[in-house]
Amino acid sequence: MVEVTLICVGKLKEAFYKDACAEYAKRLGAYCQLKVLELAEQRKGDAPSKAEIDAALLREAEAIRKAVPRGAALIALCVEGREMSSEALSETLTRMALTSQKLCFVIGSSDGLHESVKAQAVLRLSMSPMTFPHHLARVMVLEQLYRAFSIMNGGRYHK
């Protein structure tokens, strides 16, 4: 069974996000071994400078690199990443799972991901050119993972 790790910078606070994530995590249990890791978002001032943001992103990148499972294919969620349909994502994950039984998705903080994390990724994936709160992105990624695995296995969820 494929191991999927979802690394998220920042904690979920709202119950409705937690409930949605829990539902998709439960559904994914039929298709993969899912592990969701929450890493602390680095604190910054109210009006942080670019240098302060860059330093925070670098500290977050160090924590992310330590959390990525050894041998995992890293997929970075970022706005400049590649957009793809659910079917294309399913096909991509199928190919990745053939070469690596471990997949690791990373969602950055409200300031995104450090360039070094993106450079390490085998895939930069964009959910949309629109901007979403990173907490909602977690729900969206879990839903799309469930949809992709459902497509792979001939399930009825995807219509």
- By three-state DSSP, how is residue 156 classified? coil
CATH says 2-152 is which class?
A: alpha beta
N-terminal to C-terminal alpha carbon distance within the chain: 25
Is residue 159's pLDDT more than 70? no
Q: What does the radius of gyration of the chain's CA atoms come to, in whole angstroms? A: 15
Average the pLDDT over 128-133 and give the result. 86
Q: Which residue has the tokens 């219509």?
A: 159
Average the pLDDT over 73-85 and give the result. 95
d(CA 100, CA 93): 10
Tell me what pLDDT residue 3 has: 96
Q: What are the residue ranges spanned by the domains of the chain? A: 2-152
Residue in 113, 92, 112 with CA at minimum distance from that of residue 103: 92
Average the pLDDT over 5-23 and give the result. 96
